[in-house]
Amino acid sequence: MTQAVTNFKTEFTIDSLREFSARDMKRVNRVITENLTSRVALVNQLSHHIINSGGKRLRPLLVILAAKACGYKGENDALLAAVVEFIHTATLLHDDVVDDSEMRRGQKTASNIWGNEAAVLVGDYLYSRAFQLMVKANSLRVMDLLANATNTIAQGEVLQLLNINDPDTTEEKYYEVIYGKTACLFEAATRLGAVISGSNAKIEYALKNYGKHLGIAFQLVDDALDYIADSDDLGKNTGDDLAEGKPTLPLIYALKNGDKKQQQLIRNAIKNGGLDQLEAVSKAILDTGAIKYTHQQAIAEAKLAKEALIMLPRSPYKQALGFLADYAVERSY
């Protein structure tokens, strides 16, 4: 039994979780570093820029915690955690190009520094690198799971593109987008832990559901924070979603429940994008209770995530997964 498990606390904080998982995350970071090397200097510069830019590393952490919660003892958890991080990073590179974003994780985006062409191509490089690495796991089930997740992410991004500047986007369409663009990779990350540990179908299904609901909760909070968080804390410009004409849940709810003046304001803001009406739209979102509503939906998803963990045997890793569900809805960035 590792020292971390022997000394595990009955209550986690984000700092104690980092301490608890530090040894395993060092293994993940080692795999990431060893597999980012390219003969092309720009690939090295750009990929290291975004990989080492201070992200939460939440998705690879989920692979580790889920695998350990299932009793896994091998090294493929770190390998597949790195794969998941490469896939996630590739999506960020592509997203920033599509969204014309200037800031990511508190610094300039790769596309802002090196240009859209380089960002897209290095994103492609990271995708292909991820698939090279997953082959090393020597598991068709793992490859099938990750290939399907990657395909779903791409479809989610296209669906989001179709919804941009459309004020008639429904909650159903919104949830379809956030499952594809965010939750399905959370779902794949936690499900991988069950697959590589040889867990039974019930455990795999439980971890699949945990990851799905955690990912939805995480994105719901992200979309609420876009209107209420400080830009420095958020690591990107406040109001980015509005600027891009993205009809996220706070906007959808406010449009449905606001008075005629608020509805017209929000409808025009979604259609036209931009930040000219950010202050007025943010006020309408608060006044209609849209932030509270979005947060309530996130809490409900986090509760479903925690309920899915009932199937797992008691362990500090299970407890850490439960803490992450709470953290997803309580965070301020």
If asked whether residues 279 and 197 sit together in one domain, one would say: yes
If asked whether residues 175 and 53 sit together in one domain, one would say: no
If asked whether residues 117 and 209 sit together in one domain, one would say: no
Please answer whether residues 69 and 112 qualify as being in contact, where contact means their C-beta atoms are separated by less than 8 angstroms.
no
Residue with the larger pLDDT of the pair 175 and 114 = 175
Please answer whether residues 160 and 223 qualify as being in contact, where contact means their C-beta atoms are separated by less than 8 angstroms.
no
If asked whether residues 95 and 204 sit together in one domain, one would say: no
If asked whether residues 173 and 107 sit together in one domain, one would say: no
Count the residues in the chain. 333
If asked whether residues 169 and 128 sit together in one domain, one would say: no
Mean pLDDT on 284-307: 97
83: CATH: 1.10.600.10
Residue 282 has pLDDT above 50, yes or no: yes
Query: Alpha carbon 7 to chain centroid distance?
Result: 29
Compute the distance between CA of residue 53 and CA of residue 327 in angstroms, rounded to an integer. 21
If asked whether residues 31 and 158 sit together in one domain, one would say: no
Please answer whether residues 55 and 93 qualify as being in contact, where contact means their C-beta atoms are separated by less than 8 angstroms.
no
Please answer whether residues 87 and 146 qualify as being in contact, where contact means their C-beta atoms are separated by less than 8 angstroms.
yes
Domain containing 17 equals 13-137
What pLDDT, on a 0 to 100 scale, did the predictor assign at position 19? 95
Q: With b meaning 16 or more CB within 10 Å and e meaning fewer, what string describes 9-25?
A: eeebeeeebeebbeebb
- Residue 103 pairs in a beta bridge with 108
Compute the distance between CA of residue 25 and CA of residue 77 in angstroms, rounded to an integer. 10
If asked whether residues 122 and 182 sit together in one domain, one would say: no
* DSSP letters spanning 195-240: HHTT--HHHHHHHHHHHHHHHHHHHHHHHHHHHHS-HHHHTS-TTH
Residue 108 has pLDDT above 90, yes or no: no
Which of 45-49, 112-116, 159-163 is most confident? Answer: 159-163
Compute the distance between CA of residue 289 and CA of residue 300 in angstroms, rounded to an integer. 17
- Angle of the 260-272 helix axis to the 278-287 helix axis, nearest 10: 130
If asked whether residues 261 and 304 sit together in one domain, one would say: yes
pLDDT in tens, 58-106: 999 999 999 999 999 999 999 999 999 999 999 999 988 887 777 766 6
**Is 332 part of a structural domain of the chain?**
no
Supply the pTM of this predicted model.
Answer: 0.92
